[in-house]
Chain A
């Protein structure tokens, strides 16, 4: 029989007692944790279910956004078609007005010629010549009024054409909003991918959730997430100032500090411009 040191046994017993004491003290705390987990478990399940619902709703949201984008593109094309049609009609109308002006001038010329011929051929009939001259003068006045009216119509047509062009330029808003929508769609797709990953992990730990992702997030994002429709000259001016400064400094391959210096001087130029704008204090 091997020799056993009683002191060692007592030491071990002391350790065991310490563990038991610790266990007794820790027991209420462990029970609390257990109760907490029992309470939290349904909540976690609810979160899981809610995540799955959200993940299933994302494709619907993205498809709706895409259909909005498609609809605005179609509507924009229709508006541009109509603008083109109005421009063609107005061009024809303008041509007709120009022709009318030409005819007015021609009639004025014919009247003047007729009066001159009469003066030459019947100079002995001043009474008739007087009547004809009076009639010609009235006809000339009426033609002048007609000419004024045609000019006024031409001005209106020019204004309509100008406004049509402005409407067409405003349709750039479609490109900006399409990029914003593409940006949101991309964000939603990324969220969906993250949710899919999370649900897949939950699946592995707690059995299948039934949600299977069936897509890949496209990597080449062909949109500007910061696209804004802001028809002001400010952004263009800022780009012009910077472009000019870079060109002047021949900075096509400028180092970072040089570009930074140009940034600062461009920003200063922008500030100066802003302070000179009316209403800026």
Chain B
């Protein structure tokens, strides 16, 4: 399983990648915004996207919408990890068709639980 971790904060990318390693996943790539992520998705086989919401150039919501309209990437699981925890944010993310939603700060337990839920439903 190859992950793409998208976050403009290097700290968050590192924390998420460390948590994934802790859970048992070893293959992961990083991108610092939505546009960077789309570039990587075009040239690297990715099985799972974990993205932040607030990022410069292209945010996580726009990235999700872009992936969902891409003919070859539209089924890829997307997990959003963000500080935005308002109800309307969750609804907007759901409308953009993210598979699940984590509010920062998160724990590895929650990360594992959400990944497992998404993979079971797939």
B26 at interface, CB cutoff 8 A: no
Closest chain B residue to A251 by CB distance? Answer: B94
Closest chain A residue to B58 by CB distance? Answer: A220
Closest chain B residue to A253 by CB distance? Answer: B95
Question: B106–A172 contact, CB under 8 A?
Answer: yes
User: Which residues, 179 to 218 on A, are CB-close (under 8 Å) to B?
Assistant: 179
A172-B104 CB under 8 A given contacts A77-B10, A222-B55, A224-B84: yes
User: Which residues, 219 to 233 on A, are CB-close (under 8 Å) to B?
Assistant: 220-224, 226-231
Distance in angstroms between the alpha carbons of A238 and B103 in the assembled complex = 10
Out of A168, A221, A236, A252, name the residue touching B103 (CB < 8 Å).
Answer: A236
Please indicate the chain A residues that have their CB under 8 angstroms from the CB of B82 in the complex. 224
Question: B90–A239 contact, CB under 8 A?
Answer: yes
A175-B12 CB under 8 A given contacts A222-B55, A222-B59, A243-B101: yes
Question: B11–A259 contact, CB under 8 A?
Answer: no
Question: A238–B85 contact, CB under 8 A?
Answer: yes
Question: A242–B105 contact, CB under 8 A?
Answer: no
Please indicate the chain A residues that have their CB under 8 angstroms from the CB of B54 in the complex. 179, 221-224
User: Which residues, 71 to 122 on B, are CB-close (under 8 Å) to A?
Assistant: 82-87, 90-91, 94-95, 97, 100-108, 110
A132 at interface, CB cutoff 8 A: no
A interface, over-half SS: helix
Distance in angstroms between the alpha carbons of A275 and B57 in the assembled complex = 43
Distance in angstroms between the alpha carbons of A170 and B106 in the assembled complex = 9
Nearest-neighbour CB distance to chain A for B118, whole angstroms, equals: 12
Nearest-neighbour CB distance to chain B for A70, whole angstroms, equals: 12
Distance in angstroms between the alpha carbons of A266 and B85 in the assembled complex = 13
Size class of the B contact interface (CB-based, 8 Å): 35 or more
Distance in angstroms between the alpha carbons of A3 and B111 in the assembled complex = 103
Closest chain B residue to A223 by CB distance? Answer: B54
A77-B87 CB under 8 A given contacts A175-B104, A222-B54: no
User: Which residues, 48 to 89 on A, are CB-close (under 8 Å) to B?
Assistant: 73, 76-77, 80
Can you give 26 contacting A-B residue pairs, CB < 8 Å?
A: A168-B15, A168-B18, A171-B11, A171-B15, A172-B11, A172-B12, A172-B15, A172-B105, A174-B9, A175-B7, A175-B11, A176-B104, A179-B83, A221-B54, A222-B54, A223-B54, A224-B82, A230-B105, A231-B105, A235-B85, A239-B102, A243-B94, A243-B100, A243-B101, A252-B94, A263-B87
- List A residues at the B interface (Cβ < 8 Å): 73, 76-77, 80, 165, 168-176, 178-179, 220-224, 226-231, 235-236, 238-240, 242-243, 246-247, 251-253, 259, 263, 266
